[in-house]
Amino acid sequence: MVKPKRVGIYVRISKDRKGQELGIQRQEKACRELCERLGWSVLKVYPENDTSASTTAKKQRPMYTQMLRDAREGLIDGIVVYSIDRLTRRIAELTSFLEAQKEHGFQFATTEGEDTATANGRMVLTIKGAVAQQETERMSERINSSLRQRREKGKPHAGGPRVFGFEPGSNFQRVVPEEVELIRLGYRMLMDRQTTGDVARAWNAAGSRTVGDTAWSIQKVKRVYRSERIGGIVTYRGDSVGDSIYPHPLTREEWENVQTVLDSRSTPARKGSGKRKHLYSGFLKCGHCGSVMSVQWATIQGRTFRRTFCNSSQVGAVGQLGCGKVNRSYAWIEERLNELVEAALRRRKPTPPAASDEDFSDAINVLEERIRNLRRRWKEGALDDEDYFDSLSHLRSELDSLRASESAAVVRQSRTEKDALAVWQDDDMTNLERRRAIVSSVIREVSVYSVGRGRRKPPELDSIKVTPIGDEPQGPTG
Ligand SMILES: [Zn+2]
């Protein structure tokens, strides 16, 4: 699943839980910590000051309205709240929120999670289930009636222009396998941070032509991926009404992934300015001359693959051009190194559970008790106002900092080595930078040697030499 890059955090202060209201800052902090843990990027915060007491009256909540509008328009692609009751207390509103989520595809998380361990989680799941159920029923009704309509007319809906990937005149019921293959290849390239220009070049190199019999351009490739048809999404007057029952080049989820990538690329990164695209680029050194090797996509005889090579047109670490003598397929090397990194992560001992000095609950209870006593004495008239408010604000700020430490400790505990393995195994492209950080905690560098031409036999294991972190150069991997 693609991680949201423009998350909106919704925080709300209300006076309806006596004495227990969570400060807006504390809600925001917890939400930001959650986003960091999930690898989501925060775009903006929607602070609502909603101090009316009633939970039943239809309240005006301008920030909530604006946030939903932003989500509908795609300005934000994820929403994070401290808990469901910060978002809304009214079932009808929650239902329409979840429906909006389904329709517009933004992601949603609460710091309390949505597991069934909490009453909130159970409620959300129940409602999600009900919404899904209703949606399914509605969809099958729509499809049935449209199929019936088509059948009553006695012929399928007449043509329109052919869409790349589908057989002409088949009314989107049959695909062209070679074109599906190209669409899927392009999908993988786009997910691997290649550009639509790279896809156009790959398709042209494979001898493919557009349905109008022209060469592929960036615009024409984009048009293919923008078409809901290739994701099997059936539309009626511009609205999605369900999934095609016939074969289609991409799944709905894959199609949605591509939309996210295309949307985020409206201003393409300059070449060389972006982040690294490959897990091990930068780590691979030419075994012959010691230059840092390049990793690139190549299309040779219609086959597209990654290769790594000593670049003879690029100045290497030693201040001279690479020797150009080493040129290897990248996939094999990546596989070997992946095995090595994963093995190293599994060998690492899990960090011991947090020590008892990280348990703040006693101290928090004591402070809360002192605040209650203080309040009672003031109510009984044993304290004058000035003393009361002085002591109260002092205790409150102490309590706030304890609670902050408590939540920080929870975050620390969740970042054990076990999580490193989980982060490692998530090979989503959006996770690349974190995975590269893990690589750099295991591998210092890898010397890559030349192997013979042809690909009948896999390369020998000692055709690469790995220098692990904190170790002298070592022999074969494996
Ligand atoms: Zn070299």
DSSP string over 313-357: TSB-TTSSB-----EEEHHHHHHHHHHHHHHHHHHSPPPPPPPGG
CA 36 to ligand 1 centroid distance, Å: 40
Percentage of the chain surpassing pLDDT 70?
Answer: 70
pLDDT grade, residue 347 (50/70/90)?
A: confident
Residue 7 has pLDDT above 90, yes or no: yes
Percentage of the chain surpassing pLDDT 90?
Answer: 17
Residue 440 has pLDDT above 50, yes or no: yes
What's the pLDDT at 97? 83
pLDDT grade, residue 330 (50/70/90)?
A: very high
CA 296 to ligand 1 centroid distance, Å: 16
Neighbours of ion ligand 1 (CB under 5 A): 286, 288-289, 291, 310, 322-323
CA 444 to ligand 1 centroid distance, Å: 18
What's the pLDDT at 115? 52
- What's the rounded mean pLDDT across residues 431-451? 86
CA 388 to ligand 1 centroid distance, Å: 75
CA distance 86 to 48: 10
The answer to whether 61 and 52 have CB atoms below 8 angstroms apart is no
Going from the C-alpha of 106 to that of each of 2, 97, 301, the distances in angstroms are 11, 11, 40
The answer to whether 279 and 439 have CB atoms below 8 angstroms apart is yes
The answer to whether 363 and 402 have CB atoms below 8 angstroms apart is yes
CA 297 to ligand 1 centroid distance, Å: 19
CA 451 to ligand 1 centroid distance, Å: 13
What's the pLDDT at 387? 77
pLDDT grade, residue 453 (50/70/90)?
A: low
Burial class (CB in 10 A: 0-12, 13-18, 19+), 87: buried
What's the pLDDT at 290? 87
More confident residue, 161 or 190: 190
Going from the C-alpha of 157 to that of each of 154, 174, 212, 230, the distances in angstroms are 10, 15, 21, 18
How large is the greatest C-alpha to C-alpha distance in the chain, in angstroms?
92
CA 221 to ligand 1 centroid distance, Å: 36
Q: Cβ contacts of residue 159 below 8 Å, gap of 6+?
A: 169, 171
CA 321 to ligand 1 centroid distance, Å: 8
CA 281 to ligand 1 centroid distance, Å: 15
CA 344 to ligand 1 centroid distance, Å: 28
What's the pLDDT at 221? 92
Lowest average pLDDT, out of 144-158, 174-188, 345-359, 443-457, goes to 144-158
How would you classify the pairing of strands 7-13 and 78-81? parallel
Cα distance between the two ends of the chain: 31
CA 283 to ligand 1 centroid distance, Å: 14
CA 278 to ligand 1 centroid distance, Å: 19
What's the pLDDT at 259? 81
CA 294 to ligand 1 centroid distance, Å: 11
pLDDT grade, residue 9 (50/70/90)?
A: very high
pLDDT grade, residue 224 (50/70/90)?
A: very high
- What's the rounded mean pLDDT across residues 283-300? 85
More confident residue, 212 or 165: 165
CA 272 to ligand 1 centroid distance, Å: 21
pLDDT grade, residue 59 (50/70/90)?
A: low
What's the pLDDT at 356? 44
CA 288 to ligand 1 centroid distance, Å: 5
Tokens of 225: 């991926």
Tokens of 336: 């070997």
- What's the rounded mean pLDDT across residues 328-335? 91
Q: Cβ contacts of residue 170 below 8 Å, gap of 6+?
A: none
CA 325 to ligand 1 centroid distance, Å: 5
CA distance 250 to 228: 10
Backbone φ and ψ of 71, nearest 5°: -70, -40
CA 247 from chain center: how many Å? 27
Q: Cβ contacts of residue 177 below 8 Å, gap of 6+?
A: none
The answer to whether 88 and 68 have CB atoms below 8 angstroms apart is no
Model pTM score: 0.34
The answer to whether 216 and 241 have CB atoms below 8 angstroms apart is no
CA distance 299 to 263: 26
What's the pLDDT at 336? 93
pLDDT grade, residue 140 (50/70/90)?
A: low
- Count of all residues that appear for the chain in the document: 478
Query: Position 18: which residue type?
Result: K
Tokens of 267: 């201003």
Residue 478 has pLDDT above 50, yes or no: no
Burial class (CB in 10 A: 0-12, 13-18, 19+), 33: middle
CA 316 to ligand 1 centroid distance, Å: 9
Using alpha carbons, select from 276, 214, 224 the residue that is nearest to residue 429. 276
Element (H, E) at 57: none
